[in-house]
Amino acid sequence: MEPADVPADALTVGVDVGGTKIAAGVVDSAGKLLAHTRRETPAQNTEGVLAGIADAVRELAAEHEIGAVGIGAAGFVDSRRTTVMFAPNLAWRDEDLRSKLSARLNLPVVVENDANAVAWAESRFGSGRDHDDLVAITIGTGVGGGIVVGGRLLRGGYGVAAEIGHITMVPYGRRCGCGLQGCWEQYGSGRALVTEAHEIARHSPAFAAGLLEVSGGDPDAITGEMVTAAAQRGDVAGLHCFDEIGRWIGLGCAQLAAVLDPSLFVIGGGVSAAGEVLRSRVETTFRSNLTGRGHRPVAEVRLAELGWEAGMVGAADLARTHPDTAVTGRAQ
């Protein structure tokens, strides 16, 4: 089923599919999340992911009249918004989500990259609603991105623009799930945050005493939530971990600014729950590495406003408006 016939005021479901969870929510035309549910992501089981998405949508549709479904998928989505061509942290390879889910749900389905969905939500309803040119960076299991230029979502010629997490930051560096080495997400993601914490705890247990205390003394039991909580209460090891990823994220922002010249960077994703602990470090490094600094306007760095809702809200709004007219690179 095609999404072009969905009424502008219809309720739609947005589904945010990441490496660890499936979050689905009912969203109205004002971007308000009315209801939501969640499933775990069986990342290496494609049939399990499809079943989880369908089950979550059916649960919500049982209580609400739904006009369409938008899928925010963690991967490369084709230009027709139907197929996930590749997903570094999921087992999807040329997976035609639109056809498979439309058949299961008997509803119109639009598929979009998950970070693009976040960028769209923040530009429409969140911290970027006063900016027409922004880059949204989602810091979660990996690093995702969405770019809005002139009020439109930039998707590129093949639909896979803004895969910024796979910019090479360190030639021949850490191996990435995409098959290359040294990708940005290996240094500036939630996974990188936890890796840094594990390394500190193993090699400098006295320095990481606070983290080890909350993990029961096991370095491998330290989670991203533990690191965030430790940093927010001033723990030196926790703050050091955010120093590291904040530098990498800020450096990447400076590189993007040299190409795109946005007026705003929006920092979202699960790791952004650290708030100013993360944002301030990103901004400091961004400003100090910006080409031509002192002789040009400097983009703002803001935290995303919509938090964990953003992917669902953006995907749902894209399904409602059918983005062929709203967010392609050419006016219709």
Q: How do the residues of the chain divide into helix, strand and coil, expressed in percent and rounded to 5?
A: 40, 20, 35
Pair 49, 17: CB distance under 8 Å: yes
Collapsing DSSP to helix, strand or coil, 264 comes out as strand
Nearest alpha-carbon partner for 56 in 76, 74, 71: 71
d(C-alpha 329, C-alpha 60), whole Å: 33
Closest to 231 (Cα-Cα) out of 260, 264, 292, 190 = 190
Tokens of 139: 């810091």
Model confidence pLDDT, tens digit, residues 262-310 = 999 999 988 999 999 999 999 999 999 999 988 999 999 999 999 889 9
Residue 322 binned pLDDT confidence (cut-offs 50, 70, 90):
low
Strands 143-149 and 134-139 turn out to be: antiparallel
Supply φ then ψ for residue 20, to 5 degrees. Answer: -125, -15
What CA–CA distance (Å, rounded) separates 162 from 164?
5
Read off the pLDDT of residues 44-103 as tens digits, 9 standing for 90 and up: 888 899 999 999 999 999 999 999 999 999 888 999 999 999 887 788 899 999 999 999
Contacts of 247 (CB under 8 A, 6+ apart): 281, 285
- Amino acid (1-letter code) at residue 132: D
CB atoms within 10 A of CB 217: 11
In tens, the pLDDT along 34-55 reads: 999 999 888 688 889 999 999 9
Question: What secondary structure does DSSP assign to 87-149, as a single string?
Answer: -TTS--EEEEHHHHHHHHH-S-EEEEEHHHHHHHHHHHHSTTTT-SSEEEEEESSSEEEEEEE
The pairing of beta strand 76-77 with beta strand 264-268: unpaired
Return the CATH class of domain 3-120+309-321: alpha beta
Which CATH number is 130-304 given? Answer: 3.30.420.40
Q: Where are the domains of the chain?
A: 3-120+309-321, 130-304
| Same fold for the pair 3-120+309-321 and 130-304 | yes
- pLDDT of 332 over the 60 cut: no
